[in-house]
């Protein structure tokens, strides 16, 4: 394990993000590689701490905890820690940290709430969870083309947890949970709820025991065939549509509601709009702007107009086409 990407694993995802636990890694890891774990620390201010630069690490951390007024908690990357300092740090409560030491600290594992990972042997010493319980973490990692997309997905879960926390403070009946969680398969709902519990330090009732709680998930429709029809029938008309689609998104859609892919991938953006904004079809106003071809300043000829009318017909849209003068 010699690069940052080696830490992008379901186990670390589960430990640091979903369980909100602390981690001790030994022996030595270069700090820039250790920061590969940053992706799982969303919801925290991360602070690097060189232990040898401090006279008393435990005293410093206790002071920092007592003087923190930020609503976003701190998480410390503590490195060059010796065994004596580590034994004191892991005794602190209400502390979030990732610690690296070059010493063999195996004998500190017993009774500790921190998870210990031996990098040399690629082995967790006090953490053993079956792959079946890491299904959500595995899905999120495998379905992300790169770390930026994965980070965006993790941020979305954090935002969803904040909505759940806010809703529970207003109404403890949980009746809006299906609405909040509808974007995810029901089998992943408990993982999101457990993260919400661990991050905000609250208790959420077991949803499977609530007889009045209907675990119904809003099914999102796929409109990819519509999108393909629009962009492939006529190159100029399709190009104008994509540009206008992004303009509509920038003016009418809250970007926090979109995943990174929906922000930049026009097909995914179209699917999002059809499910959440255009459930009755593309609005007349949008089609009117589209027909003007103002982005490209392209003059539609008779064949283009026929293509345009054919697209709208196949979409089941009645529209009186007025060519640009």
What confidence score (pLDDT) does residue 80 get?
A: 93
User: Whose structure tokens read 């922000």?
Assistant: 263
120 pLDDT tier (thresholds 50, 70, 90) = very high
For the chain, how long is the longest CA-to-CA vector?
Answer: 82
What confidence score (pLDDT) does residue 250 get?
A: 87
What confidence score (pLDDT) does residue 92 get?
A: 86
Q: Residues 150-166: what's their mean pLDDT?
A: 93
What confidence score (pLDDT) does residue 184 get?
A: 85
% of the chain at pLDDT higher than 90: 57
- pLDDT tens readout for residues 168-202: 888 776 777 887 887 788 889 999 999 999 999 99
240 pLDDT tier (thresholds 50, 70, 90) = very high
**Stated pTM of the model:** 0.65
109 pLDDT tier (thresholds 50, 70, 90) = very high
1 pLDDT tier (thresholds 50, 70, 90) = low
Show Cβ contacts of residue 321 under 8 Å, excluding neighbours closer than 6 positions: 291, 305, 308, 309, 312
More confident residue, 290 or 260: 290
DSSP collapsed to 3 states, the chain: CCCHHHHCCHHHHHHHHHCCCCEEEECCCCHHHHHHHHHHCCCCEEEEEEHHHCCCHHHHHHHHHHHCCCCCCEEEEEECCCHHHHHHHCCCCCCCEEEECCCCCHHHCCCCCCEEEECCCCEECCCCCCHHHHHHHHHHHHCCCCHHHHHHHHHHHHHHHHHHHHHHHHCCCCCCHHHHHCCCCHHHHHHHHHHHHHHHCCCCCCHHHCCCCCCCCCCCCCCHHHHHHHHHHCHHHHHHHHHHHHHHHHHHCCHHHCCHHHHHCHHHHHHHHHHHCCCCCCCHHHHHHHHHCCCCCCCCCHHHHHHHHHHHHHCCCCCCCCCCC
Cβ–Cβ under 8 Å, residues 22 and 127: no
Q: How far is residue 194's CA from residue 143's CA, in Å, rounded to a whole number? A: 22
What confidence score (pLDDT) does residue 227 get?
A: 92
Q: Residues 131-151: what's their mean pLDDT?
A: 93
Q: Which long-range contacts (CB under 8 A, 24 or more apart) does 250-255 make?
A: 252/277, 253/277
């Amino acid at each position: 394990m010699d690069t940052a990407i080696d830490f992008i694993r379901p186990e670390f995802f589960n430990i640091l993000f979903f369980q909100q636990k602390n981690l001790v890694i030994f022996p030595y890891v270069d700090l820039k590689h250790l920061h590969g774990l940053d992706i799982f620390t969303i919801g925290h201010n991360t602070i690097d701490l060189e232990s040898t630069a401090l006279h008393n690490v435990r005293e410093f951390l206790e002071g920092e905890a007592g003087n923190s007024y930020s609503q976003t908690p701190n998480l410390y990357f503590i490195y060059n820690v010796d065994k004596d300092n580590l034994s004191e740090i892991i005794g602190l409560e209400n502390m979030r940290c990732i610690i690296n030491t070059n010493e063999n600290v195996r004998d500190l594992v017993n009774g500790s709430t921190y998870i210990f990972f031996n990098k040399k042997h690629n082995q967790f010493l006090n953490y053993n969870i079956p792959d079946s319980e890491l299904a959500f973490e595995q899905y999120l990692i495998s379905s992300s083309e790169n770390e930026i997309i994965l980070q965006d997905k993790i941020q979305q879960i954090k935002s969803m947890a904040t909505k759940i926390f806010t809703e529970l403070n207003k109404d403890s009946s949980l009746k809006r949970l299906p609405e909040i969680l509808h974007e995810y398969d029901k089998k992943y709902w408990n993982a999101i709820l457990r993260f919400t519990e661990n991050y905000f330090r609250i208790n959420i009732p077991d949803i499977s025991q609530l007889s009045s709680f209907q675990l119904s998930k809003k099914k999102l429709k796929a409109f990819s065939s519509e999108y393909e029809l629009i962009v492939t029938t006529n190159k100029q008309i399709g190009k104008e549509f994509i540009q206008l689609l992004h303009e509509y998104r920038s003016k009418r859609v809250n970007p926090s509601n979109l995943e990174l892919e929906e922000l930049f991938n026009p097909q995914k953006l179209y699917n999002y709009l059809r499910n959440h904004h255009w459930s009755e079809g593309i609005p007349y106003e949008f089609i009117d702007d589209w027909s003007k071809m103002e982005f490209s300043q392209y003059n539609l000829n008779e064949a283009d107009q026929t293509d345009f009318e054919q697209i709208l017909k196949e979409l089941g849209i009645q529209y009186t086409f007025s060519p640009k003068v």
